[in-house]
Copies of this chain bind each other. A is one copy, B any other.
Amino acid sequence: MSTAEETAGGEAQAWGEVTPDAARRLLIAAVEAFAERGYHATTTRDIAGRAGMSPAALYIHYKTKEELLHRISRIGHEKALEILRTAARREGTARERLAGAVSSFVRWHAGGRTTARVVQYELDSLGPDARAEILALRRQCDAEVRGIIEDGVAAGEFDVLDVKGTTLAVLSLCIDVARWFNVDGPWTPDEVGALYADLVLRMVGDGEAPRGQR
């Protein structure tokens, strides 16, 4: 994760909601440091240094390293929920809404993979209260996807083996894009998003899911 492309500041997640500028720079520095060395191996001194600031300047904005991780995780999960909620609540058939949710969720994980890895892999580094808050956001993400699948079953569009298990598999498939996606690889985020939308329509037994070549 030390290649030039792995810089959280240049990723899809713009952190525009974090102000003032110094607080945002520190947050981006923390994402990069956590992704590169792991949460436990990173000190607040490392983070401040990466942001070109003193440790004292860091403490003006964040009391602890955990506060930084918590803030990163909350912003990341709120964005994930916003993406899924927007897709779930738009007009259209369940098929269109599920395809839209999957392709936008995949694009976000491919484009913001440094942040997504920190958010996904350092969940156990949060304290109990912060962790409970994040888990509540994750349950809401799950509910948005499950809702689309249930609508599709009710409308006769989908033919699902196990709604809860299929919802989990759909989210898992999208999240793992952050682990393997490589900007130097053969696919763009849009291409992965389109392929995955088609694969997910097959998983939910959509009668009109795209066919391939035999």
Contact = CB atoms under 8 A, between A and B. Distances in A.
Contact of A202 (B164, B205, B214): B205
Contacts of A172: 173, 176-177, 179-180
Contacts of A161: 195, 198-199, 210, 212
A162 interface: yes
**Taking the full assembly, how many copies of this chain does it contain?**
2
A203 B205 contact: no
A93 B38 CA distance: 44
Interface of A: 1-2, 37-41, 117, 120-121, 124, 153, 156, 158-162, 164-166, 168-169, 172-173, 175-177, 179-180, 186-187, 192, 195-196, 198-199, 202-203, 205, 210-214
Contact of A187 (B153, B165, B187, B198): B165
Contacts of A40: 37-38, 40-41
A109 to B, nearest CB: 11
Nearest 5 pairs of A and B residues by beta carbon: A38-B38, A40-B41, A41-B41, A176-B176, A161-B212
A199 B203 CA distance: 5
A161 B126 CA distance: 40
A41 B196 CA distance: 36
B2 A124 contact: yes
A96 to B, nearest CB: 18
24 contacts: A1-B124, A2-B124, A37-B40, A38-B41, A39-B41, A120-B179, A153-B213, A159-B212, A160-B212, A160-B213, A161-B195, A161-B198, A162-B195, A166-B199, A168-B180, A172-B176, A173-B173, A175-B176, A175-B179, A176-B176, A176-B179, A202-B203, A202-B205, A205-B212
